Amino acid sequence: MTDKKKAVGILVVSFGTSYPETCRKTIEKIEDEIRAACPEHSVYRAWTSGMIRRKVLKRDGIRIFGVEEALGQMKADGMEEVIVQPTHVINGIENEEMTKAVMKFENQFQSISIGTPLLTTQKDNEEVIKAVLEEMQPSDEELLIFMGHGTEHHSNAVYAALNFILKDMGQENVFIATVEAYPSVDHVVKEAAKRNRKKVRLAPFMLVAGDHANNDLAGEDEDSWKSILEKEGYEVSCDLKGLGEYPGIRAVYMEHLQEAMKQLSVTK
């Protein structure tokens, strides 16, 4: 006689976005791939940004759960074991807050396993850079500059590590800067001046191409990265594609989910 199969739920946690098109291409794409890979499990969604959830509810009439709401629903639906997979890029403040929220429920399920963000190990860093280069195909005639979010959290150091990896791979004309931390666009402008190139391609280094991509990166205001670089004399183009659109990036998230599932099996 075999034991009854346990009800396992997968909670995919994202910051969220108010841009429906990029949501479909990134967050929903990741969720759909998880459903396809794990048809025996129930897949749930939570977004950590209350501001975005409220905006989507007011504009579209769509209610999206926060982390604790989603876990409460999973409990009500009879889930016995939970796997939480964040789509966060780094192990920063959002991920820490998510983990705290999840652990409030540790005694309400038989077991909970939490997957890791995109950039967690050195292997992750290298796989992500390879995926980005494969997708973007940088040219020798241009500078390719990515905009990361950036944070005051110590995890911000990963952006410096990524720039070192790029240089180790011989990608002297590819840079990653941040909109809210170090390195900033000013640092990239200084480095770009040494490269003797006239063309710049800008792209977001964020899961979705949302407000930062459309406004801070590609906007027409004088303080956007596009405007700043155009003032420096560069011919600027923008490739507004979120990281979630890259197959290689989604593959890394799937690897992290598989690891979280292995951890869950250990606790049975």
Distance CA 264, CA 238 (A): 42
Distance CA 30, CA 252 (A): 11
Q: What is the pTM of this model?
A: 0.94
Three-point CA angle 67, 96, 245, nearest 5°: 70
List the chain pLDDT tens, one digit each, 268 residues.
Answer: 334 578 999 999 999 999 999 999 999 999 999 999 999 999 999 999 999 999 999 999 999 999 999 999 999 999 999 999 999 999 999 999 999 999 999 999 999 999 999 999 999 999 999 999 999 999 999 999 999 999 999 999 999 999 999 999 999 999 999 999 999 999 999 998 999 899 999 999 999 999 999 999 999 999 999 999 999 999 999 999 999 999 999 999 999 999 999 987 644 4
pLDDT tens track for 83-133:
999 999 999 999 999 999 999 999 999 999 999 999 999 999 999 999 999
Active site residue 149: yes
> Which among 41, 88, 149, 212 is annotated as catalytic?
149
